[in-house]
Amino acid sequence: MADVRDRWAAGATYEAFMGRWSRQLAPQFVAWLQIPGRVHWLDVGCGTGALTTAICRYADPASVVGCDPADPFIEYARRHSQDIRASFVVAGAGGLPRRADGYGSVTSLLALNFLPDPAAAVREMRSRTAAHGMVSACVWDYGGRMEFLRYFWDAVAAVDATAQALDEGVRFPLCRPTALTDVFCAGGLRDVRCEPIEIPTVFASFDDYWQPLLGGTGPAPSYVTSLDADRCTTLARTLDQALPRGPGGTIPLRARAWAVRGTVP
Ligand SMILES: C[S@@+](CC[C@H](N)C(=O)[O-])C[C@H]1O[C@@H](n2cnc3c(N)ncnc32)[C@H](O)[C@@H]1O
């Protein structure tokens, strides 16, 4: 069952909040995977389609199936995909799509930590992968250098002592190299590697940072929409004071992700 802290409600608001950064991260992740062309891919927790799009653009796939249990995201992905090699289905961990000969690459961007049982999901991803194929995932470094969410949850902690358990750095101990490597090794994968990928996340203004948090899709926006007007204003003010400023009032931050991959024996 979906976690009420994580509402995946609408494609457009997700794009404004996180999809714009997923779309920058995805090409780097695809390049890091080094999968040869003409391979069949499965993208687990595809959301609005950032990774599927990057696979089509940069990996010369035979096909890509994107799957996600959130109907509005699949609908958004279908509407915005123009590549005949890409298809999208409403399906999630526990019922991942199958391919008769297995997929050559089963992957997932920014979703593994949101699955109800990540270890079981890695085993299931492996079961959908052909012999010698690759299983991979990429997640934000929530406890460390995912700076725009780190500033957010640190500001929340400063104004709301009851919200500590919502902090994604606390919720997702999986999102560290050792834990990711362990879960891939325990899932029966070989030659497991976990490395950082970093992207700049530069916000044009405080408004550019804050407005997407009002969209109600994803953990941080779900928290913001739970606040009354006064607490919302206090949080906005705390963040405005804490965030660094660059030239022209920009907010120049960086976001680090951990990419992990392993091969099926
Ligand atoms: C942070 S979003 C990432 C979406 C997309 N991959 C991206 O990079 O923008 C997390 C995704 O995990 C999906 N998700 C949640 N539970 C899931 C499950 N049980 N199986 C597969 N995906 C799931 C959500 O619907 C959401 O689309």
- Token pair of 195, please? 């490395």
- What is the C-alpha separation between 262 and 104, in angstroms, rounded? 12
| Residue carrying the six token digits 């079961």 | 127
Do residues 251 and 206 make contact, with C-beta atoms less than 8 angstroms apart? yes
- Token pair of 196, please? 């950082």
The mean pLDDT values, 10 residues at a time, for the chain of 265 residues are 60 86 98 98 97 98 97 94 96 97 98 97 98 98 95 95 91 97 98 98 96 90 94 96 96 98 97
Q: Distance, CA 114 to ligand 1 centroid (Å)?
A: 7
State whether the beta carbon of 110 lies less than 6 angstroms from ligand 1. yes
Q: Distance, CA 12 to ligand 1 centroid (Å)?
A: 15
State whether the beta carbon of 114 lies less than 6 angstroms from ligand 1. yes
- What is the C-alpha separation between 65 and 123, in angstroms, rounded? 18
- Token pair of 187, please? 């899932």
pLDDT value of position 3: 57
State whether the beta carbon of 69 lies less than 6 angstroms from ligand 1. yes
pLDDT value of position 218: 86
Evaluated on CA atoms 33, 37, 41, 44, the torsion sign reads: positive
- What is the C-alpha separation between 174 and 234, in angstroms, rounded? 31
pLDDT value of position 4: 53
Between vectors from CA 25 to CA 20 and to CA 28, what angle results, nearest 5°?
145
pLDDT value of position 16: 87
**pTM, 2 dp:** 0.95
Name the DSSP class of 208: H
State whether the beta carbon of 44 lies less than 6 angstroms from ligand 1. yes
Evaluated on CA atoms 101, 107, 111, 115, the torsion sign reads: positive
Minimal CA–CA distance to 46: which of 99, 98, 114, 102?
114
